[in-house]
A and B are shown apart, each in its own frame.
Chain A
C-alpha cells in the first residue's frame, strides 16, 4: 500500500541527520538564529510602523509655530481668532505643551496642557475630559511609562515640578492617561493650561503653538498657505510634513536594520554555498549504494528533501516562535533600542502585537526553499551519475 508520506524514508532521513549530528546541530542553530534575527527585525518593524501610523493619524492637520530669526518662540493666543476666520478652517486651538526633564530618572516627559471646557484637538484628551471621573484641573494625568518611572522614584500620589524660579510646585496625580497608541501616551503628563504656564513661566496670552483643523483634507495645503500669508513670521507645518519627518526617522532606523538583515542573509548564503558546493566522498558513495540497491533518482531526492525540510522547517518554526517571544513577551531587549533608542531620555513603550503574515511568508521563502535546494542540488548531481563507482 502506498501512503502519502513514506515513514521509512522519513526515518532514514532522520538517521542520516543523526549520523552527522554535531554538524547538523550547528547548522540548525545558525539557521534558527538567523531566522530569529530576521523575524525579530520584521516584527519590530511591523510594530513600530503600526505605532507610527496610528500616531500620524492622530496628528493635527496644521500646526502653526512662531519663529523669530528661525528660533521657535511662544505664539500669541489671539492669533487663533484670525485663523478661525480663514475659509475652510474648522477649528483652531492654542496648545500649551513642552518637555520636562526629570533628572532623578534621567528621562524627558511630554507635558500637555488642556482646558476642560475647550474643544480638544485629540480624541484621547476628549475621552479624558468626558470620562467618568472627569478632568480635575488641579491634578496631573500621567501615561503608563511616566507612572512606572515616578513610582520607582517614590512619586506615587503627587509630583513636584520645579518652576523657573527654582521653587517647587506640588501637583497631585489624578490617574493614568491612555491613548490609542503607547507612543502617544506613554511619556505624557496632562495638566491644566494654567499649571503648564506656571511650570514653563509662560504668559497667559501666549501658547506653544496653534493647531488647526481643516474639514476638507484637499484644502490643507491651501489653508496652510493662507496662514503663512497672514503671519509671515509663522512656521506652518502640515500633517503631511510631520508624516514625512516621522518616516525619515523611521527610514534611518530601517537602514540599520537593513544592514543587520544583509549580514544575516550573507551568513545564511555562506551556509547554503557550503552545502550546495558539493558532497563528501562518503555522501556520494552512499547515494551510489542506494541507487545500486534499487532506489530511483526520485527516492534519493525525496530523502534529501526530507533532510533539508526537517532542518529548515524546524529552524523556521523555532526561529519564528523565539522571535515572537523575544519581541512581544520580552519586548525585544537590545534590538528595540536600535529603533526607539534615538532619544535616551524617551520613556519606555510597549511594542504592539502585529501578526504580519506577509512577513512570515517572506522569511519562509528566504530560508526554507533555499536551504532545501542547497541540499537537493548536489545530491541530484551525484544521483544522476552512474552508480558504477560503488562496484569498484
Chain B
C-alpha cells in the first residue's frame, strides 16, 4: 500500500522564485493495482513518481510505502529501498548507450554483488521474458526505440520489484509499439506488481486492467 498524507513539494526556480509542484496531496494506491496518473505537462505526475521511488523528498507531508515512511529515509536506506522495491522506466529510457543490452540490464544487480551464475540466470530469464534475448550482446545504441524500451523495462524488472513506475513510457513510441508496451504492463499486473504510470497518452485512458486513474492539475488531484 502506498499512501500520500498531505504532501507538498516545492522546487526552487532561480534565486527567489519557487514552484509548487504538488499541493496538499492525499492519495492511496493498493498493492497489485495498476494506476494511471493523468495530466498535462507540469501537473505534478513526475513529482509523485519521484516521491514514491524516494528519489526526492517531500517539502512537507508523509509518503508511506508498506507502513514505512520513505520520505524520512537516509540516502543509504532510500537507495536500498529503491534497489529492492522499485523498478523505474524512464521517459527517455536513460540507458547507457555504448554498452550492451546485457550490461544495461544487470545494472540494478551490480550493488548486490551476486555470483555470476545467479546474474546469468536472472538476465537470461528477463531477456527471454521481454523478447530481447537475441540482442543480448548488441550495444543499446544499435536498437530501435521499441527495443530500447524493452531493455529499459527488463532493467526495471530484473530485481523483481514490488512497484514498477513508468514516466511517460510511450512518449517516444508509435502507436503499435505503445500497444506492445500496454500488453507488457497487462502481463506484469498478472504477477501482482503495483504499477504506476504517468502519462498523457490517450491510449491509456480506456484500459480494462487499469484499477484507478488519478488526474492531476497544477499540482493538485482533480
Contact surface of A with B, Cβ cutoff 8 Å: 1-3, 6-9, 11-12, 15, 18-19, 285-286, 289-299, 384, 386-388, 390-392
Contacts and interface: CB of A to CB of B under 8 A. Distances in A.
A149 to B, nearest CB: 59
B106 to A, nearest CB: 6
B180 interface: no
Nearest to B9: A388
Contacts of B57: 386
Nearest to A3: B113
A289 B167 CA distance: 13
A13 to B, nearest CB: 10
B74 to A, nearest CB: 10
Contacts of A292: 53, 55, 82, 88, 90, 94
B143 interface: no
Nearest to A392: B46
Contacts of A15: 96, 98-99, 103
Nearest to B112: A2
A286 B92 CA distance: 13
Contact of B98 (A1, A19, A386): A19
A291 to B, nearest CB: 7
B83 interface: yes
B79 A295 contact: yes
B110 A296 contact: no
B157 to A, nearest CB: 11
Given A7-B116, A294-B79, A294-B80, 19 more contacts: A6-B110, A9-B113, A19-B96, A19-B99, A286-B96, A289-B94, A292-B94, A293-B82, A293-B88, A294-B111, A295-B107, A296-B76, A296-B83, A386-B56, A388-B55, A390-B90, A391-B46, A391-B90, A392-B46
Contacts of B111: 294-296, 299
A285 B76 contact: no
B56 to A, nearest CB: 4
B56 A294 contact: no
A12 B80 CA distance: 20
B10 to A, nearest CB: 13
A6 B88 contact: no
B29 interface: no
B187 interface: no
A391 B55 contact: yes
Interface in B38-91: 46, 49-50, 53, 55-57, 75-76, 79-80, 82-84, 86, 88, 90
B109 interface: yes
B208 interface: no
19 contacts: A8-B110, A15-B99, A15-B103, A19-B96, A286-B96, A292-B53, A292-B82, A293-B88, A294-B108, A294-B111, A295-B79, A295-B110, A296-B75, A296-B79, A297-B79, A298-B76, A299-B110, A386-B56, A390-B94
Contacts of A286: 96
B103 A297 contact: no
B170 interface: no
Which 8 residue pairs of A and B lie closest in terms of their CB atoms, listed nearest first?
Answer: A294-B83, A296-B79, A388-B56, A294-B82, A289-B94, A19-B98, A299-B111, A6-B113
A19 to B, nearest CB: 5
A384 B75 contact: yes
B167 A1 contact: no
Nearest to A390: B94
Given A3-B113, A386-B55, A388-B55, A297 B98 contact: no
Nearest to A7: B116
B110 A12 contact: yes
B123 to A, nearest CB: 11
B56 A293 contact: no
Contacts of A12: 99, 103, 107, 110
A148 B167 CA distance: 80
A68 B80 CA distance: 89
A18 B96 CA distance: 13
A75 to B, nearest CB: 80
A391 B49 contact: yes
Contact of B50 (A7, A9, A295, A391): A391
B114 interface: yes
A184 to B, nearest CB: 60
